[in-house]
Amino acid sequence: MDKFLDLPKWQLALLSGVLIGAAYPPSPMGFLAWFGLVPLIHLLCNASPAEGAKWSFLTGITVNIITVYWFGLNSGAGLFPVFLSLTGAVLYLSIYWIIFGMCTSWYHKRTGYGLAVLAIFWVGMEYVRSFGPLAFPWINLALTQTFSLPLLQIADVTGSMGISFWVVLINTILYAGYGSSSGLKTSLQIITILLVLISSLGVYRISSIRNENIVDQISTAIVQPNIDPNQKWEADFRDRIFDIMDSLHTASIDLQPDFILWPEAALPVYLRINYAARRPILRKVRYSDIPLLTGTPDRRNRDNNERDYYNGALYFTPDGSMQMYYKMHLVPFAEYIPFSEKFPMLKRLNFGQGNFTPGRDFTLFEVDSVSFGNLICYESSIPTFVSQFVRRGAKFLSIETNDSWCGHTSGVYQHFQIARLRAVENRVAIARSANTGISGLILPTGEVAEKIPYNKQQIILAEIPIRDLESFYMRFGELFAIICSLISIILLGIGWIKNRS
């Protein structure tokens, strides 16, 4: 191990980036994250704050290129906007690595206890990254651990950042044994005990949830139409889209579900205001007595004759009523320009993005007297946002998404695995309909009960179990992350005071 860590510094930083990046889905090698940070930790414990920032930046750049390269493959935008978004995202997300590296090196240099607080600082970094219009908890380190169901179960208490905590802690313990065979042996023994303990608790938690009574069960026909998004809005293909969705609607009705779930923007039309397009759907809903939830764009006129455009979901019920939900957490630079609500002139900028207006209400739908919340695409990656629906009474969640813009890339698989984290955090089942995949049903344990693979047109009849479960995370949110962040601030303050005295 001595020779391993004697590599040139830039190689160590790069190595950490490759190992951590390779641990993210769809890779099955999430265990790489257990030691992937060791080279970087070695650098941070032997570097000035400036050097710590530099090597962390290199690691961050490497990780982010590997994990979000699919930003640069968006077929719905031009080459320049796509390149700009990828470059901007990689650089922006790497800033948080700089902060983490600089704080860790500075604290270790001042106190000598950098290793003891490494995992706490990491959680603080992830928590800060979850705020604001550019929040991106998508790539939290917890996502690397979805290969092992038992390891995810602590998320119902700590949230996904608690998973990130123990991953960094394992790296720290491993590095603490660096330098001697006996120290390394002790570190491996501690890590083994820690993994066995966490896994055992996870297995017990999975078993206890499976044994909880199912108080109700909602069946849903989850539709994956597998339609090329680049063709959807072409005039020549429009009638074909309607024919496909109509036939899938008929096939779904034949399964006799309690409700039918279509993906985001399933039809190339503003359904709420287009009666001609809406009529055949509503007729089938009334005739079959089966509600339908579909994603749809929408627009509303304001008093000043200007229009607001929305990415929404429309719920058709057999009594003829309709209910709308408008996406609240829009994708920056894809669905809107950040801060354009406060500065309307920003909407005039055109990088090929949409100019949607965010919704304001956590709308709940109801099927057979059971309330549920619906998430549209990127919203499912925001943990605190998702838990708001459950806190307001949702007994299960649905996700409507269209991940096909970036083709068959790792982003598709990452987004599906993110839904598993949300299910565990809130202990609710999640029905997911994606245009080209991956669609399926995820249980409150994070288990995948049903799944439609990518690039396949299919309908599955999924039985959503309703259990009276209430998670600590759902009630108290990011309490664990808040505590870690406060401790980080206090420790940095103490280090600063010691430096001045």
The better pLDDT of the pair 278, 346 is held by 278
What's the number of domains the chain is made of?
2
What CATH number did the domain enclosing 292 receive? 3.60.110.10
- pLDDT over threshold 70, residue 301: yes
C-beta pairs of 417-421 under 8 Å, 24+ apart in sequence = 417/25, 417/143, 417/146, 418/138, 418/143, 418/380, 418/381, 419/380, 420/146, 420/152, 420/446, 420/448, 421/142, 421/143, 421/146, 421/152, 421/155, 421/160, 421/383, 421/446
Give percent of the chain above pLDDT 90: 77
Q: Where are the beta strands (DSSP E) in 317-394?
A: 322-326, 364-367, 370-376
Average pLDDT, stretch 272-295?
A: 96
243 and 103 together in one domain: no
Model confidence over 314-371: pLDDT tens digits?
999 999 999 999 999 988 877 777 766 776 666 666 665 568 889 999 999 999 999 9
- Give the residue-averaged pLDDT of 404-423: 94
Q: Based on the domain organization, do 204 and 220 belong to the same domain? A: no
Write down the pLDDT at residue 169: 97
Residues 19 and 126 in one domain: yes
Instruction: Let me know whether 430 and 447 are in one domain.
Output: yes
| 38 and 156 both lie in a single domain | yes
Query: What band does 73 get if pLDDT is binned at 50, 70 and 90?
Result: confident
Whole-number Å distance between alpha carbons of 272 and 176: 60
- Do 407 and 287 reside in the same domain of the chain? yes
Per mean pLDDT, which range of 31-45, 179-193, 327-341, 461-475 is the poorest?
327-341
Pair (369, 413) in one structural domain: yes
How high is the pLDDT of residue 407? Answer: 84
Q: Does position 121 have pLDDT exceeding 80, yes or no? A: yes
Q: Which residues of 389-414 are buried (b: 16+ CB within 10 A; e: fewer)?
A: bbbeebbbbbbbbbbbbbeebbbbbb
pLDDT at 178: 84
Mean pLDDT of all residues in the chain?
A: 92
Residue 336 shares a structural domain with residue 399: yes
Say if CB 14 and CB 57 are below 8 A apart. Answer: no
The DSSP bridge pattern shows strands 448-452 and 439-442 to be antiparallel
Residue 334: inside a domain: yes
> In this structure, is residue 473 part of a structural domain?
no
Distances in Å between the alpha carbon of 32 and those of 26, 39, 62, 68, 320? 13, 12, 15, 18, 53
Same domain, yes or no: 292 and 395: yes
Which residue would you say has higher pLDDT here, 351 or 286? 286
Residues 338, 192 share a domain: no
pLDDT average, residue stretch 142-160: 97
Residues 196 and 280 in one domain: no
pLDDT, residue 404, reads 85
- Domain ranges, residue 17: 4-210+478-500
Q: Does position 2 have pLDDT exceeding 60, yes or no?
A: no
pTM, two decimals, is 0.94
pLDDT tens, position by position, 24-70: 999 999 999 999 999 999 999 999 999 999 999 999 999 999 999 99
Same domain for 179 and 299 = no
In a domain, 151, yes or no: yes
Give a yes or no: residue 17 inside a domain. Answer: yes
The answer on pLDDT for 465 being more than 90 is yes
